[in-house]
Structure 1
Amino acid sequence: MAGHSKWSNIKHRKGAQDAKRGKLFMKLAREIFMAAKQGGGDEETNPALRIAVDKARSNNMPKDNIERAVKKATGDLEGVNYEEFTYEGYGPGGVAVMVKVLTDNKNRTAGEVRHAFSKNDGNLGENGCVAFMFNRSGYFVIDRSTTDADEEDVMLQVIEAGAEEMETTEESFEIYTEPEAFSDVKAALEEEGYSFSTSEVTMIPETYTELDEEGVEKMLKLIDMLEDNDDVQEVYHNLDADEAVLEKLS
């Protein structure tokens, strides 16, 4: 799975920017809302809700916000009705992009997403045009500074927990698992004393597209514009960018 660490660098940058914009809690609330709306308000019987709530808690979302989102979804509180859509397209240099949205106005959101692509040298495509380039996967990151365990010990515990694969970098252990096993693997590793800087079910690209500095700058502008949209929950892509370039442009 070479290249995933490059992808995670972008992901970590994105997460930090979401938090700075102060929009993260709203996006997490929508995710909880949709999970509860589709599968009910009980975390024990609704794995998607459990994952969404875990993600909210890991980002220090207040308990009242979480409960309010669940109650809105189950009809205990009045609220707007959101629909979930995924848009696909290409960014600068042919970078594959998937945009997951939750919206109460599909026409408005579609127009805004299309505008973001066209303004940043990209184009929105048909459904399925890039989805085949990604695999849905559970993904965890353990910062090596948070554990005394060596790579072999972590690997054994990861296997015992039921994960599929682990990749080691200088800074972290990156763990991949089937989406259906996400909650069980997370619980098993937490019982071993591990904490995660990232834990989510996400879309992992199979291949990556390299860009020069100018292309990376344009791509980051596209990502920023999409993430500035209140309706956008996640932006997935297969950009391969040099870490020094990312640092410079950040």
Structure 2
Amino acid sequence: MFGGVLLIRGLLPRYCQRVTSSSVLLSVELCSVHPQLARLAQSPQWALQSGRAVHQCSVMCAGHNKWSKVKHVKGPKDAARSRMFLKLSMMIRIAVREGGPNPDFNAHLANLVEQCRSKNMPKASIEAAIKGADKSKALCSLYEARGPGASMLLIEVLTDNNTRTFQEVKHLLHKHGGMMCDGARHSFERKGVVLASGEGVSMDRALELAIEAGAEDVRETEDEEEKPLLQFVCEVSELRGVRSTLEDLGIPTLSAGLEFVPHNPALLPLDQLEAASRLLEILNDYPDVVRVWDNIQAAN
């Protein structure tokens, strides 16, 4: 009998997910393994062990559920954070090549460094991106493309193999309703853009602030958490002055930089908006892509 109990304990983990606390069902399951185990299943010792087995299985399930939450909630957030830091590092390398490694003489780089700090990017990562710009063999390119509904896209990439990246981006575009095309850049202008919080600021007040700060235009937008933001558009040479004036007027700014601002919007219906959103997501997830500009607007 003592040996039989040990045998049951040895088999217990193997059957803990198949059995219940009912001794009748236990007997049916165990008969297929050994006839003597069916009689042992009716004993008080087995009833005690079966309860322990069910408890052990519930603990295993709880651990599995906890891991599922970590995998599906924390994992994507960490991955998105890593991608954001990677893109910022790429933007820093481009800025260093265009204007040098000293933020005091490179306004674009200074704005990027400030943006990195606002995103809690480690200081060591920022310094590594600045120092590694000259050593990197990657080159910056700007691809022109067409998206769903005749929308226009500008895709900035940083790659050490332009032929490979061009072909892979071309494949992604073709697979998701887009294509490479010439002339897309004519739908955009290179401008300075100051991003500020729009909470508690009406559009009429935002227009007044734009005039006082010397900006050409102001646009409403939202961040990832659907919080209102304001984009103050100005000439490239006026970027630092516009930001400084907005700060003096009591408007906290979030970032400032050079962007391609569309002047010929493409109005898309809901179905094309969803397709375009998916295409932009795919392009931004590609490792060599730094940024994607578009002229998409929702049709009324």
User: With structure 1 as the length reference, what TM-score do the two structures score?
Assistant: 0.76
Amino acid of the structure 1 residue aligned with 2:109: L
Structure 1 partner of 2:196: 142
Aligned to 2:214: 162
The correspondence for 2:113, drawn from 53, 66, 88, is 53
Aligned-partner Cα distance in 2 for 1:116–1:19: 21
Q: Which amino acid aligns with 2:145?
A: G
1:241 shift after superposition: 2.2
The answer to whether residue 86 in structure 2 is matched with residue 32 in structure 1 is no
Per-residue CA deviation, residues 184-216 of structure 1 (Å, 9 max, x unaligned), is: 222332244422345332111112222222222
Structure 2 residue 294 is matched with structure 1 residue 237: yes
Q: Which runs of 5+ in 1 are unaligned?
A: 1-16, 244-250
Corresponding residue for residue 260 of structure 2? 203
Structure with bigger RCO (C-alpha 8 Å, 6+ apart): 1
Q: Which residue of 2 aligns with 1:223?
A: 280
* Cα gap change, 1:224 to 1:18, in 2 (>3 Å): farther
What is the alpha-carbon distance in structure 1 between the residues aligned to residue 263 and residue 95 of structure 2?
A: 27
Change (3 A) 1:225 1:21: farther
Sequence identity percentage? 31
> Which of the two has higher C-alpha Rg?
2
| CA deviation vs aligned residue, 1:75-113 (integer Å, no higher than 9, x gap) | xxxx43221101011112211111011112111211111
Query: Following TM superposition, by how much is the alpha carbon of 1:122 offset from its aligned partner in structure 2, in angstroms?
Result: 1.2
CA distance in 1, matches of 2:219, 2:293: 20
Which of 99, 103, 107 does residue 155 from structure 2 map onto?
99
Q: Normalising to structure 2: TM-score of the pair?
A: 0.64
Question: Aligned partners of 2:268, 2:238: CA distance in 1, in Å?
Answer: 34
Q: Tell me what 2:29 maps to.
A: none
Find the residue that maps to 2:133 and give its secondary structure: helix
Residue in structure 2 matching 1:178, options 235, 240, 244: 235
Aligned match for 2:269, one of 208, 212, 220: 212
Q: Which runs of 5+ in 2 are unaligned?
A: 1-76, 223-227
1:131 matched to 2:185? The reply is: yes
Q: Retained in 2: the 8 A contact 1:51–1:183?
A: no
What RMSD, in angstroms, separates the aligned Cα atoms of the two structures?
A: 2.8
Structure 1 residues 83, 155: closer, same or farther in 2, change over 3 A? same
User: More helix per residue: 1 or 2?
Assistant: 2
Mapped contact 2:194–2:239 kept (Cα < 8 A): no
SS in 2 for 1:60: coil
What amino acid is the match of 1:106?
N
